[in-house]
Structure 1
Amino acid sequence: MKVADAVPEFADAFDFEEFNRMQREALPVLVDSDHNVVASAPTASGKTALAELAICKTLSEGGTALFIAPMRALTNEKESEWERFEDLGYSVYVVTGERDLNPRRARHADVLVMTPEKVDSATRKHGSRRYDFVTDVDCSIIDEVHLLDSERRGGVLEVTVSRLRRLCDPRFVALSATMPNVGDVADWLDAPPEATFAFGDDYRPVDLQTGVKTYTHGENSFADKYRRLYRALDLAEPHVREDGQALVFVASRQDAVSAAAKTRDELAERDVPVGSRGDYDFHQAAEELGDDDLRKAVLDGVAFHHAGLSKADRDRVESWFREGKIAILFSTSTLAWGVNLPARCVIVRDTKYHDPLEGEVDISPLDLLQMLGRAGRPGYDDVGYGWVVCDRSDADRYRRLLREGTEIESHLAADLDAHLNAEIAMGTVDDLDDVLSWLETTYYYVRASSEPAAYDFDGLRDRVRGTLESLVDRGFVAMGEDLAIDPTPLGRLASKYYLRLSTAAAFHDLAERDRIDADAVLETVAAAAEFDSVSARQSEADAVDAVLGSEASKPPRGGGEAADTDHLDDGGRKVLAILRASTSDSVPADLRSDAWIIRRNALRLLAALREFLDRFAGPRAANLARRLEARIEHGVSRDAVSLTAVDGVGAGRASTLATGGHSRPADLVAAGADELTAAGLSEGVAERIVDAAADLPDVSVSWADLPDAVAAGDSEMCEVRVRNDGGGARVGVRVTVNGVEMHEKTAYLSDVTTVPVGVFGADADELDFRVEVSFPELPIRPFVDGQTVRVV
């Protein structure tokens, strides 16, 4: 069947002229019906075309299609691939991070591309003008729906799809690698039998032979990597000698680079004929690579591929591998899920990997089967070969996986309380009956119906009722006498920021303390449940101790209790050490490998904690969290942190300006562009920075209404004027006298606000008044001014 005959309007949207057998069988139901569709098919059999057919039908009817991609790296890939739709006059928009979102573009897009996590976030905020576009989706394509079986991400995909069904009920087209229980997914999505496809291995373009090869695990993990590498090369060598290619999956980017380097030497040692050093044109093209290690490797027929490479370098590697210039390619899992880059031989060298947040974990069965599915090049190979290299103790487990596959389970139960709280916070469920109705829309319910003994189906509703009661007891949900349920402020914030509920409770407890300091903020974040699985390797212990020091040597907190991290386990201490060191950009070398991901997650938690503190403790505490957030993000001192609020001022520039005596945005405005130019900035940069600083608050206090003295026993009510000559901002204004709080208010300060001040002739000789203006949403240090009134 020719593409031009089947979908003439969209023939140019496909990069081939004829549909294959699998695509032909699914096409009628995709194009000529409105049924929800579930299709499982072997890797590399052409499932993407099914997604594109569903998009074509949606666009032809004037609707909006949502493509849910399993990984962020693949969203950008789809944006590039689907320029073909752009050429036909349709708009494709990838929805990425919060800061980068363009709501107008999203609202007018014909094809939206998002990850499950981003769809979850958007649907949680669907009532806002910024995210209302997500309720206008007419067709939702779930790519790699077997992601449901992921322990960490499956629950997110599950509740997101259920939520979409309640919000806008789009057509669903779910695509998957081969899975034994495709019928369960079809039941969940209400796909009828005629729209449920289970394409078997006979639909693979190339036959696949798989197997397990073992090695003996030793005491030295570094040496183990080389044992596995040599085992992998033994498997790849026969194919490479016959002009075949090998794709070897490894655990990390660093492993990909180091394995490629070692393989170059090993191939030379074995006298394997690979490489293109005599190819002048290829030699010249290789010089354009941005990565030095990659440039050295490709000429010897070896390369690596990971998300840390530039897109240009990745594109070149993929092109050269397809052309056969690269014989052995080492890659992380990104290639398994995304780019269709088959090889005659695929080897999974590493079945375990280090996750900064989880410690050492096993590769998921889904990832492993996805990787092996890349074996076999259509048009070149009659058979593809896939091998798993593992320790002898794991061999039977992997042999069973290859023989039987893996059923798609639900992992919603692991975080049922957080997911249920989110639904209540959004208002999609209002009472107990709604909660039970929501349960029936989940894959969890369908899978429990299918496997009642394994899931204790008879006790399912009681389990959900118990979860609801727990939410009420813990303060996340309020329940009325009529069983109506409403979210509390605590529940709303937990949902808004994707928090584990124990973390949200700890943030609330911190906000209830009488005294909140920087140590308490960082220790609360380090102890968050989101970091529960962080492990500290033996080699990191000295670095952690060097940052935190011995607890006995630490100074007391502001004259109060001594700093104490005894409640933190080794993983929590590691997180705390990274956060403390990050505030001065001094993370020890031994901690840097995990620092980036830990810091990124900590910044998300700090943003959440800031709002908890703002809501439950007040603007002063929120500002403290905001400044710590900025210091960790930029690695700057207390003196320089306020300057990071200015657009165009990064860490280096903030530190330089602070050293020159400019510690607040208002200082930059007062200095003017000429003085900043004299300090070393270019004229254009100086002018832009001054303009940006002028958009931030510039606060002063007028005490004109206060007397110089008050008679003992007398009293007088006065007003203090707080003036802002810069950009407006929400502020907290606090007035104290002799250290005792007299008045506090929160306001949006655009020009002038007044606060009442009582002047009482007390027993003291002097009344020391202080006005503190804090900025809960900006990393600017509080502005403090004082005035003394004598008691005569």
Structure 2
Amino acid sequence: MEVAEVLPEFADAFAFEEFNRMQREALPGLLESEDNVVASAPTASGKTALAELAICKALADDGTALFIAPLRALTNEKEDDWDRFEDLDYSVYVVTGERDLNPRRARRADILVMTPEKLDSATRKHDSRRYDFVTDIDVCVIDEVHLLDADRRGSVLEVTISRLRRLCDPRVVALSATMPNVDDVAAWLDAPEETTFEFGDEYRPVDLKSGVKTYTHGDNAFADKYRRLYRALDLAEPHLREDGQALVFVSSRQDTVQAAKKARDEIAERDIPMGARGDYDFHTDAKELDDATLRKSVLDGVAFHHAGLSKNDRDLVEEWFKEGHVELLFSTSTLAWGVNLPARCVVIRDTKYHDPLEGEVDMSPLDVLQMLGRAGRPGYDDVGYGWVVCDGADADKYRRLLRDGKEIESRLAESLETHLNAEIAMGTITDLEEVMDWLETTFYYVRGQSKPEAYDFPNLRERVRNCLEDLVGRGFVEMDADDLSIEPTARGKLASEYYLRLETAAGFAELCDRVESSEATASPRNGERRSRERDETALETGDILETVATAEEFDSVSARQSERDAINAVLVGQETDDLEAGQRKVLAILRGAADGSTPSELASDAWVIRRNATRLVSALGAFLDRFVGPHAANLARRVEARIENGVAEDAVGLTAIDGVGPGRASKLAREGLSAPGDIVEIGVEGLVDAGLSEGVAERVYEGAQSLPALEIDWGEFPETIATGENEVCEVTVRNVGEPARAGIRVTVNGVEMTSTNSYLRDADTVPVGVFGADADVLEYTVSVAFPEEPLVPIVSSQTVDVV
């Protein structure tokens, strides 16, 4: 059955000309029906084409398709793969982070590509103009739906699909590797029997022979890696000698490189005939590689592949592996989920890996099966060989997995409170009965019916009530005792909007309470206006960093022994005795990042921790803005910018300018320029004198002009006032730059008199009461902060003598 016969207008969208047996059997259910579809099939059997068929049907009907990719690294690969759709004048758009989102492009896209986490975040904000595109989906394709069983990520996929179905009821096409309980997934998605497909191992293009091999576990983890590597090479060697290829999965990017280096030496020692050093053309092609280590390695037939390589290098390694130039490839698990790159022999060297946020964790059973599924090259091999190398204590566990497979379970119960809070915050749940209605839309409910005791289903209603009471007790939800109606609190809404774990949101609220509780109310005296001794600036950078470092998102971070000295050096002189080792590590990384000096010993985990921390600081800023005030929020915004850019405190304001990154900000700060106002004042010529090229100087100057710029006019403010006298004056805060939201505070001798929060377009007049108090001198200060920009607050003071 040729593609051109079935879909003549989309023939060029497919990477092949004929459908295989599995694709032919699923094709009528995808193209001739509107029903939801669930298809379970062995790895490498051609499931991607089923996704593309569903997308083609939606496009032919002038609809919009959403493709949910299991990993972030795969979303960009899909964008590249689907240039074929772009050539047919259909637009493909990958939805990435909040700041990089282009809502207009997303709204106009024919095919959207997202991870479960991005879709969850977007659907929580579906009623905003920025994310309204998620309510206009006609078909939703879930790639690798067995991700439902993944720790933490599984519940995200589950509740998000349930929510999306309530929002716009798209057709759902769920694809999966072989799973024993495909009928449960079909029941969850309301896929009828005729569009539920369970393709067994007989549909594998190549038979798979899999097994478990053990190694002798020692006391040294570093030495153990090499023991497993030699075991992996023992398993791969017979196939390499017969011109076969081997794919070895290891736990980290760094391990792919180190294993490839060691393997080259071992291959030479064993005299295995490999490599293309005599091939002049390939020798020339190898010079196109960006990575110097990879350039040397591929000439010996050995390569490595991970998401940190340039796209050019990944593409070349994949191409050369398919062509047979690379015979032994070391990779991280990402390759198993995305690229169709089979090998005669697959070896999983590492069944555990170090996660910067979780510590040492076991590879998920889903990952293991996915990786082994890459064994066997269609058209070249009659059988593929897949091996798990593990410690003897784990051998039976992996043998059971290979023999029985893995039923897909729901993970919703593990994070029920968080997801329930999100639904309440969106207003989709308003009473107890609606909680039960919502649960009935989940995979959790379906599995609970299949296994009621395992899921404690007889006590479900009681559990839900306890969950709600806990949310009420912790301040996320309000419940009416009479009619059991439910409403979200501001805390609950912020926790949902910023995608926080509830423990983290509670910690953020606690910090806000501490700042608030530092207020003291001065008693009115002699008819004076009531003033509050409240100082948001009592909040310090250290408070923000420590609150984020102790967030639950980092609760599994561990500090290795080799990192302890570096952590202590960064935190020397700071009170951190009450922090756990992992929390101290996160704090050290954040402090180092803010100063642009992360110790090399912490560098391997720093990127992931920094990326998560900037999101958390942004969320903490929203809490401070809501519960404390704009000045506190502005401090959080500056801390966020420092972690993101690695610039000193006196240069952080420059990062608000488009085109000014950490290097340029530091360079300008060394020239004595620390704020956008300084840039505007010296102009393009001054920037050129400071070392910028004329073109860059013009862009930076224009960027600085697009920010707010303030002038504070004290007007006819008195220099003296008599004891017991009062006078009301007016101070004008004038914005001569771009409009922005601002907080204006007036204090006298450190006591806050007034505080306003306004959108400052041109000028605001602030009334200031000057009163003859007991003090000899009154110092009045006006401070203006922008909660959404990393600009240092503008401060101006005047002194009044009491006579």
Secondary structure, counterpart of 1:452 in structure 2: coil
Q: Which residue of 2 aligns with 1:484?
A: 485
Aligned partners of 2:91, 2:727: CA distance in 1, in Å?
66
Secondary structure, counterpart of 1:389 in structure 2: strand
The amino acid that maps onto 2:549 is A
Secondary structure, counterpart of 1:624 in structure 2: helix
Instruction: Within 5 Å, give how 1:91-130 maps onto structure 2.
Output: 91-130=91-130
Aligned partners of 1:756, 1:644: CA distance in 2, in Å?
33
Aligned partners of 1:650, 1:385: CA distance in 2, in Å?
49
2:697 aligned with 1:696: no
Aligned partners of 2:106, 2:785: CA distance in 1, in Å?
35
2:571 aligned with 1:570: no
Q: Which residue of 2 aligns with 1:640?
A: 651
Of 747-756 and 339-348, deviating more is 747-756
- 2:606 maps to which of 592, 595, 606: 595
Q: Which residue of 1 aligns with 2:290?
A: 290
Q: Deviations over 1:521-573 (max 9, x none)?
A: 11111111111000011111111111112xxx44xxxxxxxxx3233111001
Aligned partners of 1:403, 1:282: CA distance in 2, in Å?
42
- 1:771 maps to which of 756, 759, 782: 782
1:87 positional shift: 2.2
1:689 positional shift: 1.0
Of 299-308 and 507-516, deviating more is 507-516
Instruction: Within 5 Å, give how 1:34-113 maps onto structure 2.
Output: 34-113=34-113
Aligned partners of 1:569, 1:312: CA distance in 2, in Å?
42
Q: Which residue of 2 aligns with 1:427?
A: 427
1:484 positional shift: 2.1
**2:653–2:791 Cα contact (<8 Å) kept:** yes
Aligned partners of 2:649, 2:75: CA distance in 1, in Å?
38
1:638 positional shift: 1.3
1:88 positional shift: 2.2
2:276 aligned with 1:265: no
Q: Deviations over 1:399-432 (max 9, x none)?
A: 1110111110111111111101111111122222
Secondary structure, counterpart of 2:660 in structure 1: coil
Of 627-636 and 319-328, deviating more is 627-636
Instruction: Within 5 Å, give how 1:103-182 maps onto structure 2.
Output: 103-182=103-182
Q: Which residue of 2 aligns with 1:677?
A: 688
2:561 aligned with 1:546: no
Q: Which residue of 2 aligns with 1:506?
A: 507
Instruction: Within 5 Å, give how 1:13-24 maps onto structure 2.
Output: 13-24=13-24
- 2:678 maps to which of 667, 673, 678: 667
Report the count of equivalent residues: 780
Query: What is the RMSD of the two structures over their aligned residues, measured on CA atoms?
Result: 1.1
Instruction: Within 5 Å, give how 1:448-459 maps onto structure 2.
Output: 448-459=448-459
Aligned partners of 1:75, 1:595: CA distance in 2, in Å?
23
Aligned partners of 1:698, 1:12: CA distance in 2, in Å?
54
2:755 aligned with 1:744: yes
**2:714–2:732 Cα contact (<8 Å) kept:** yes
Secondary structure, counterpart of 1:746 in structure 2: strand
Gaps of 5+ in 1: 555-563
Gaps of 5+ in 2: 519-537
Q: Which residue of 1 aligns with 2:528?
A: none
Q: Which residue of 1 aligns with 2:320?
A: 320
Q: Deviations over 1:479-534 (max 9, x none)?
A: 23432222111111000111111110110110112242211111111111111000
Aligned partners of 1:44, 1:733: CA distance in 2, in Å?
61
Aligned partners of 2:265, 2:243: CA distance in 1, in Å?
19
Q: Which residue of 1 aligns with 2:254?
A: 254
1:716 positional shift: 0.8
**1:523–1:565 Cα contact (<8 Å) kept:** no
**1:510–1:516 Cα contact (<8 Å) kept:** no
Aligned partners of 1:573, 1:723: CA distance in 2, in Å?
43
2:553 aligned with 1:530: yes
1:470 positional shift: 1.3
Of 763-772 and 362-371, deviating more is 763-772
Q: Which residue of 2 aligns with 1:628?
A: 639
1:612 positional shift: 0.3
Aligned partners of 2:263, 2:487: CA distance in 1, in Å?
60
1:635 positional shift: 1.3
1:148 positional shift: 0.3
Aligned partners of 1:17, 1:630: CA distance in 2, in Å?
51
Q: Deviations over 1:186-214 (max 9, x none)?
A: 11001111111111101101000001111
1:658 positional shift: 1.5
Secondary structure, counterpart of 1:640 in structure 2: helix
Q: Which residue of 2 aligns with 1:557?
A: none
- What is the TM-score with the length of structure 1 in the denominator? 0.97
Q: Deviations over 1:698-749 (max 9, x none)?
A: 2121112211211111111111111122222211111111111111111111
Aligned partners of 2:698, 2:52: CA distance in 1, in Å?
49
Secondary structure, counterpart of 1:205 in structure 2: coil
- What is the TM-score with the length of structure 2 in the denominator? 0.96
1:351 positional shift: 0.4
The amino acid that maps onto 2:214 is T
**2:152–2:415 Cα contact (<8 Å) kept:** no
2:349 aligned with 1:349: yes
2:503 aligned with 1:494: no
Of 52-61 and 162-171, deviating more is 52-61
**1:424–1:487 Cα contact (<8 Å) kept:** yes
**2:277–2:283 Cα contact (<8 Å) kept:** yes
Q: Which residue of 2 aligns with 1:561?
A: none
2:229 aligned with 1:229: yes
Of 508-517 and 494-503, deviating more is 508-517
Aligned partners of 1:173, 1:252: CA distance in 2, in Å?
32
Residue identity (%): 72
Secondary structure, counterpart of 1:97 in structure 2: coil
Aligned partners of 2:390, 2:776: CA distance in 1, in Å?
79
Secondary structure, counterpart of 1:509 in structure 2: helix
1:460 positional shift: 1.5
Q: Which residue of 2 aligns with 1:559?
A: none
Aligned partners of 1:569, 1:730: CA distance in 2, in Å?
38
Secondary structure, counterpart of 1:347 in structure 2: strand
